[in-house]
């Protein structure tokens, strides 16, 4: 039976590239997009490459979105093999700030809504469908900037990047990864966080060293792990990043 993957924030950037590579490996991809017009443009781009992708509206601020996604996938596909929680925001637009003493309450709450709370709501709703898979995989797209170990290390290479709302929301996301992986350790579902790299996206900015076309690799690996693959870790490619 064909494998099915749902990727949030898939109409552009890392989500789009990951969807394309999953589809090229023979997996049916469902793009999650907040803006259906932009989602349809992404589906058309994939169609021009010979890929028949599906599309469903997903807005992290819509409390009904997880239920609507569940209904759509359940009715059309009956199960879900891969969930990639890729959608994320950096509301200040600048990773290289030290705003811990004056970060706004709104930025904190809105960032956590997209990067953390909505991920939990969606994942919880879709787990019954993932449990129907022979090899369920949940990938939470995180960042090296979530690592408390690296942030606190002397002469750390990530020291300048102290945008609190973004970093803390991804640290919280990692906690969800650990807890859920332990809960599901006796099932065929693997749960991991992935750092795609510093990528030239709207979030990463133009100075990032990685082109968006190369940004899919970590998510693709974690989404297609063998049965003996890891669960409950934070990875970049094959490398383990400390919590």
Find out whether 84 and 27 touch, Cβ atoms under 8 Å.
no
**pLDDT (average), residues 62-75:** 98
CA-to-CA dists, residue 40 to 32, 58, 66, 175, angstroms: 10, 13, 20, 34
Residue-range domain boundaries for the chain: 4-240
Are β-strands 234-236 and 54-57 bridged in parallel, bridged antiparallel, or unpaired? unpaired
β-partners of residue 137 are 82, 190
pLDDT band at 50 (very low <50, low <70, confident <90, very high): very high
Q: pTM of the entire structure? A: 0.95
202 has pLDDT over 90: no
The pLDDT tens digits of the residues spanning 203-238 come to 666 666 557 677 789 999 999 999 999 999 999 999
How many other CB atoms sit within 10 Å of the CB of residue 172? 18
% pLDDT > 70, the chain: 94
The confidence score (pLDDT) of residue 104 equals 96
What value does the mean pLDDT of the chain take? 94
Q: Check: CATH 3.40.50.300 for 4-240?
A: no
């Amino acid at each position: 039976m064909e494998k099915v993957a749902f990727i949030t924030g898939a109409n552009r950037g890392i989500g789009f590239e990951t969807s394309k590579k999953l589809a090229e490996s023979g997996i049916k991809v469902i793009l999650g997009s907040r803006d259906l017009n932009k989602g349809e443009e992404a589906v058309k781009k994939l169609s021009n490459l010979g890929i028949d992708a599906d599309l469903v509206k997903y807005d992290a601020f819509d409390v009904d979105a997880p239920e609507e996604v569940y209904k759509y996938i359940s009715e059309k596909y009956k199960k879900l093999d891969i969930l990639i929680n890729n959608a994320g925001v950096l509301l200040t637009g600048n990773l290289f700030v030290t705003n811990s003493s004056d970060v706004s309450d709104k930025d904190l709450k809105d960032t956590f809504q997209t990067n953390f709370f909505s991920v939990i709501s969606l994942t919880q709703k879709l787990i019954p469908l993932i449990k129907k898979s022979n090899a369920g995989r949940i990938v939470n797209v995180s960042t090296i900037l979530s690592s408390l170990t690296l942030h606190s290390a002397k002469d750390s290479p990530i020291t300048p990047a102290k945008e609190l709302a973004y970093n803390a929301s991804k640290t919280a996301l990692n906690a969800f990864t650990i807890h859920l992986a332990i809960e599901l350790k006796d099932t065929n579902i693997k749960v991991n966080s992935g750092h795609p790299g510093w990528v030239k996206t709207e979030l990463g900015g133009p100075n990032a060293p990685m082109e968006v076309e190369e940004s899919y690799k970590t998510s693709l690996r974690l989404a297609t792990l063998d049965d003996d693959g890891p669960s409950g870790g934070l990875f970049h490619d094959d490398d383990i990043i400390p919590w």
